[in-house]
Amino acid sequence: MLSKTQSKYIRSLALLKFRKENQCFVAEGEKIALEWLHAAGKIRMILGTGEWLEAHQAQIKAHPEAQVIAVTEAELKSVSGLQTPNKVLLVVEHTPDPGPVAINDWCIALDGIRDPGNMGTILRIADWFGIGHVVCSPDCTDPYSPKVVQAAMGAQLRVRIYETRLPDFVRNSALPSFAAILGGEDIYSFQPAEKGILIIGNEAKGISEELIALAQHRVTIPRRGGAESLNAGVSAGILCALLLGR
């Protein structure tokens, strides 16, 4: 049974202030929960229906650090951020990284990405392509918010996420940088690169002028139709496919 204190604590994690204060976030839904249960990440709480907990005893026993609470579907719904709650919810720890030091491979830099769906999709894209680092500007949406966690589908387990001032990061990095902008060079003219920084900009404003000036390459996906622009997540996926190898 879920206590009032536990219920209040879990619901508080919907807010950025309390996620930062507690250094944890909520991961819910069976597929996402099983990814964390199979991984080495530290779990604080496992809430599940009795039937679900019984069926997944082996995975739960691998996390003795977690508090396991059997709940009813009504109790789960009361703390869930989903419109249709699943059978399980986890409270997962994350430790803030000191900064994006010594990145010597591909990484994605996000300049002011505000939409949680785009943030989660880009994290999932990084995970798919084996890109182990995503660097966010301070004005990005929180990569551990409930909507981002849902869209990322477990990417936070494998992709290290940093927050820093991007112009300083790009300026101090030895990696080649590729800024995705309208009017850039045709991405199809580029050969795949062994490493680099792919910069994706804000959904409405694009990449800041300061970052564009610092980027070694300015690239675009050629438009053949009438759409004004591409979704940031879609653009990131196409550019990763072309820059990392085809």
CATH number at residue 35: 3.30.1330.30
Name the domain boundary from 38, 58, 93. 93
Q: Give pLDDT, residue 246.
A: 56
Residue 202's contacts (CB-CB under 8 Å, 6 or more residues apart) are: 111, 112, 113, 114, 232
Q: d(Cα 80, Cα 26) in Å, to the nearest integer?
A: 9
State which of 93, 125, 141 marks the end of a domain. 93
Is 81 strand, coil or helix?
A: coil
- The pTM of the full predicted model, rounded to 2 decimals, is 0.93
Same domain? 66 vs 149:
no
The whole-number pLDDT of residue 104 equals 87
Give the burial string for 152-164 (b: 16+ CB within 10 Å, else e): bbbbbbebebbbb
Q: Rounded to whole angstroms, how far apart are CA atoms 20 and 203?
A: 25
Same domain, 163 and 57: no
Give 10-residue mean pLDDT values along the chain (246 residues): 94 96 94 92 94 96 96 92 85 80 89 97 97 96 95 94 95 96 93 94 94 97 88 96 84
Which amino acid appears at position 225 of this protein? G
> What's the pLDDT at 60?
97
Domain that holds residue 219: 107-244
For 119, the token pair is 């943030």
Based on the structure, what is the number of domains in the chain?
2
For residue 40, tell me if it sits in a domain: yes
What is the per-residue pLDDT across 195-240, written as a single tens digit (0 to 9) for each? 999 999 998 899 999 999 999 999 999 999 988 888 999 999 999 9
Q: Within a domain: residue 100?
A: no
The per-type count for the chain, helices as H runs and strands as E runs, is 11, 10
Both 86 and 113 in one domain: the answer is no
